[in-house]
Amino acid sequence: MSTNLGAVCDDFYVSFRLFLKLQLQPERETLLHFFDRLRKAYPGLCKMQTREEGTVIVEEEPDDSGSRRWVRIDRDSLRFGHFAPSDLDDVRRFSDLIVTQAPFHLTFSDIDFDHLELIYGFDLEYCGNHDQLVAETLWGDQGSGGFLFGDRTSHVIDAQPYFGIALSPECDLQAYAEVKSRTSTYEVRNASYEPQPISIFLTLRKYWGVDRPASLRDAVTLLFDNADELATDIIVPNFVNPLAAAIASRS
């Protein structure tokens, strides 16, 4: 995909979450072999940390642009992603390496898959009432404005749209659009704000067990293709760009 989604926001990131029905219980040697295989292609994946609940995270140090890859293994899921990628094709290659190597090293298969999520995240930094900005930008000329901007309204304190659609008749392929604000009522009450990001999330989700099992690689490609199309045709022009323009007009 040629479109640079990072150019339309302050921060752009991609993440995958594969949720499993059975708990992962990889041995120490198995984990090290898996991470060593990834490091052959991405030598920067050498920063490891563990947590009490058994989570293991391996990630890169951010480069000069802030870009970094990461992989996380939980008891019930495999997660990985790329923060501030310069090229979505590189994200695809990274994802393909993981989903071809993980089933072999971590011993799971399609009978174990619950669902797979792909998330495109767009962050727009704004110092002000996030909810007011979102409400005015997305609903200023809608019928709901009578509630949001009526005579009884002092401040808008919660405007976080969340929409979900099925992309297949069986509802096993789904897409969600969400706007996440981070302004507290304390900040609104005192008119004192810290710069924080407004996040726009596009989430694609594929479930197993509805029809003929899809391979993990095919599912990843399916989610990427749909996410690219929805991001370019809908999310960026109807969510990201209007909010970015509203922020710019207030700066």
Residues 35 and 123 in one domain: no
Distance (Å, rounded) from C-alpha 125 to C-alpha 114? 34
* CA nearest neighbour of 18 among 79, 85, 68: 79
Report the pLDDT value the prediction gives residue 3, as an integer from 0 to 100. 58
Q: Look at residues 64, 88, 107 and tell me which one is the last residue of a structural domain.
A: 107
In tens, the pLDDT along 212-232 reads 667 899 999 999 999 999 999
Tokens coding 57: 């995270």
Mean pLDDT of the chain, nearest integer: 93
The answer to whether 8 and 241 are in contact (CB under 8 A) is: yes
CA–chain centroid gap for 114, Å, is 18
In tens, the pLDDT along 52-88 reads 788 999 999 999 989 999 999 999 999 999 999 989 9
Domain that holds residue 138: 1-21+116-251
Residues 122 and 1 in one domain: yes
| Residues 97-114, mean pLDDT to the nearest whole number | 91
Residues 122 and 71 in one domain: no
Residues 32 and 11 in one domain: no
Tokens coding 237: 């022009």
Residues 250 and 190 in one domain: yes
Tokens coding 248: 């710019």
The answer to whether 216 and 113 are in contact (CB under 8 A) is: yes
